Structure 1
Amino acid sequence: MSMVVPRLKLGSQGLEVSAQGLGCMGMSFAYSSPKPEPDMITLLRHAVAAGVTFLDTSDFYGPHTNKVLLGKALQGGVREKVQLATKFGIASGAEWEVRGDPAYVRAACEGSLRRLGVDCIDLYYQHRIDARVPVEVTVSRPFGMGELKKLVEEGKIKYIGLSEASASTIRRAHGVHPISAVQLEWSIWSRDVEEEIIPTCRELGIGIVAYSPLGRGFLSGGAKLIDSLSEQDARKNFPRFRPENLDKNAQIFEKVNAMATRKGCTPSQLALAWVHHQGCDVCPIPGTTKFEIFNQNVGALFVKLTLEEMAELESYAAAGDVQGDRYPQMASTWKYSETPPLSSWKSE
């Protein structure tokens, strides 16, 4: 690939990543997965060679199998070229559970290092916020309680991030240890984070990582995407993909597609370009399992939008136009991520 992928800084602590990352979940989990391991290793190495070096995974993806896959892909000198991001906080068992207690944080980190086959994780996110544990206890409580700060001091992680955290949770966490990045869902049709969370991140100098920037594929293929999904594909149960919401949401895609045709790009590239144009502190992490889609997504970095085109795109999915919630159940999203006051915590 001849295009040079730009770089950007996330936060003010020194983390620098490719301006577009690669979400790795679908290679192992949730979307008609898993894919053949040799193919995914080849794709991951192709991404790094192309300059997309910011790779995103999580304990939850598998669980754990996605990390084992990445660990294999990182061998042979690849690790040194990569900014490796992973997430803890969704514990698997008979039922999944959100956890942020110090013992769990440490066990999750050490398990991740082992599965990935690395000595250090570049960016370590809390995947979901544990509403039972003060966020300061997870991050860096004064007098030595915060586990993430300890892991930084031990050299096991370099930078700390949060995912699906409210503005107040972000502010409290950043107050006890610098947060380098917040991961959140942000796309043409998921914009509620713009009201309070994005301004808070910018006030505090925290980088923004946008997951599902293509609306879980809907902004790439529209309603016809649904016909191609296997029965095991989790998206079949997502409200925005359900039959009662599909016709209205399909109209959004058709408008995006029409503009993309006028501009001579794909709807995916247009939707990603919109995210890129939000600022030099924003890194989208679209996922794919296909080489041609990966190459297409990288091309979004070079699609230019005018202010008028940005406004037109935003008008397609104005408030009230998008039908259905982002998730079947929203209980673990930023809207419900408030944690108890630090004074309430009784250490064991």
Structure 2
Amino acid sequence: MQTRKLGTQGLSVSAIGFGCMGLSGTYGQAAGEADAVALLRRAVDLGVTFFDTAEIYGLTANEVLVGKGLAPVRDRVAIATKFGFDVEAAIRTRRPSGVNSRPENIRAVADASLKRLGVEVIDLFYQHRVDPGVPIEDVAGTVGELVKAGKVRYFGLSEAGVETIRRAHAVHPVSALQSEYSLWSRDPERGALPVCRELGIGFVPYSPLGRGFLAGGYGAGEPAGTDFRRFQPRFQGEALAKNLGLVEALTALAGRKGRTPAQLALAWLLAQGDDIVPIPGTTKAARLEENVAAAEVALTPEDIAAIEAAVPETAVEGARYDEFGLAMVGL
């Protein structure tokens, strides 16, 4: 697979990464350990070198799983993980429900993540959400200390606002910003992405397939049980019914081009710039292979226009998070 650079500090990864969150059951049934390990290693065989996890995923269990799966190929991959959520609060509420980026917590999370992952250094350490109670300069400075100590290689932010990105980068170089970005979530184009390009920061879209929605395999029923999407307005009621029509249009277009809707959605993201590295996730080998193959899809300007016409941003119904989730982004 082709490689791309994230930032200007030296981080080079596969053009498509692997988002590991879903392996721990965020969207329903968790993958069994043996299946998850096999999937992670299959991803490496297919050329994926960039894997994304966080302490909050599976309430720390995801890091353990990722570490076990990638242990035999550690020298071939870059592993990103994150700090910043209040894990104890999340355990009580069963969803992310508070933040904690105090310097002492950042250092403690780094040590715990190193142990859970079974690695000597964290390749990319993101602040998962901005903590309004801690100056971003203190956060960047603390991660900078971890870099000097050899515990972290590169610093990242997630869902940070423009001024926060600038202030953090002035203290310690930010190599990557991870934020939701896809055909149906294009807010980064109006703020974060231009600033990242101005400062030489790479961009990592999470949920590049709209939490699986743009892949075309989502049914008409609302998410239930442990599925995190039940908190998101786009997956509820009339909004869900309307949004399904967008996927039908994308699926029809993909069929005419001999591709899948997921491949068109990922190829569209890759075509937005060579500083973009999407991290789709899955629990199925066939979906993994489908996603990776998107890196070989070449789009003409006419193709890009047709894809955007099939899923126009103005036609998407419902917010990407509920009020609680939206209050934690763009800070």
Q: TM-score range by the shorter chain?
A: over 0.9
| Alpha carbons 2:212, 2:218 under 8 Å: kept | no
Alignment of 1:1-348 (within 5 A): 5-76=1-72, 78-93=73-88, 94-95=92-93, 96-140=97-141, 147-221=142-216, 224=219, 226=221, 231-329=225-323, 330-335=325-330, 337=331
Amino acid paired to 2:139: T
User: What stretches of structure 2 of length at least 5 have no aligned partner?
Assistant: none
Amino acid paired to 2:188: V
- Provide the rounded CA distance (Å) in 2 between the counterparts of 1:190 and 1:90: 23
- The secondary structure found in structure 2 opposite 1:42 is helix
Q: CA deviation at 1:248?
A: 1.5
Aligned to 1:341: none
Amino acid paired to 1:165: A
Larger displacement relative to structure 2 (289-298 or 314-323): 314-323
- The secondary structure found in structure 1 opposite 2:156 is strand
Q: CA deviation at 1:319?
A: 4.0
| Alpha carbons 2:63, 2:117 under 8 Å: kept | yes
User: Cα–Cα, structure 1 residues 259 and 89, in superposed 2: closer, same or farther, change >3 Å?
Assistant: same
| Alpha carbons 1:99, 1:130 under 8 Å: kept | yes
- The secondary structure found in structure 2 opposite 1:97 is coil
User: Cα–Cα, structure 1 residues 113 and 278, in superposed 2: closer, same or farther, change >3 Å?
Assistant: same
| Alpha carbons 1:22, 1:52 under 8 Å: kept | yes
Amino acid paired to 1:138: V
Q: Over the residues paired in the alignment, what is the CA RMSD in angstroms?
A: 1.4
What are the superposed Cα offsets for residues 187-239 of structure 1, whole Å, 9 maximum, x if unpaired?
01100110111000000000000100100011012652647x55321213321
Q: What TM-score, normalized to structure 2?
A: 0.94
Q: Which has the larger radius of gyration?
A: 1
Q: CA deviation at 1:334?
A: 3.0
| Alpha carbons 1:222, 1:254 under 8 Å: kept | no
- The secondary structure found in structure 2 opposite 1:124 is strand
- Provide the rounded CA distance (Å) in 2 between the counterparts of 1:203 and 1:265: 34
- The secondary structure found in structure 2 opposite 1:216 is coil
What are the superposed Cα offsets for residues 6-54 of structure 1, whole Å, 9 maximum, x if unpaired?
1111000000001100000010131113211011001101111211010
| Alpha carbons 2:220, 2:240 under 8 Å: kept | no
Amino acid paired to 2:290: Q
Q: CA deviation at 1:71?
A: 1.5
- The secondary structure found in structure 1 opposite 2:110 is helix
- Provide the rounded CA distance (Å) in 1 between the counterparts of 2:218 and 2:41: 32
- The secondary structure found in structure 1 opposite 2:290 is helix
User: Cα–Cα, structure 1 residues 189 and 331, in superposed 2: closer, same or farther, change >3 Å?
Assistant: closer
| Alpha carbons 2:174, 2:201 under 8 Å: kept | yes
Identity of aligned residues (%): 50
What are the superposed Cα offsets for residues 82-134 of structure 1, whole Å, 9 maximum, x if unpaired?
10100111121235321111011001110100111111000000000001111
- Provide the rounded CA distance (Å) in 1 between the counterparts of 2:29 and 2:198: 39
Matched residue count: 324
| Alpha carbons 1:236, 1:242 under 8 Å: kept | yes
Amino acid paired to 1:314: E
User: Cα–Cα, structure 1 residues 23 and 223, in superposed 2: closer, same or farther, change >3 Å?
Assistant: closer
Q: CA deviation at 1:75?
A: 2.3
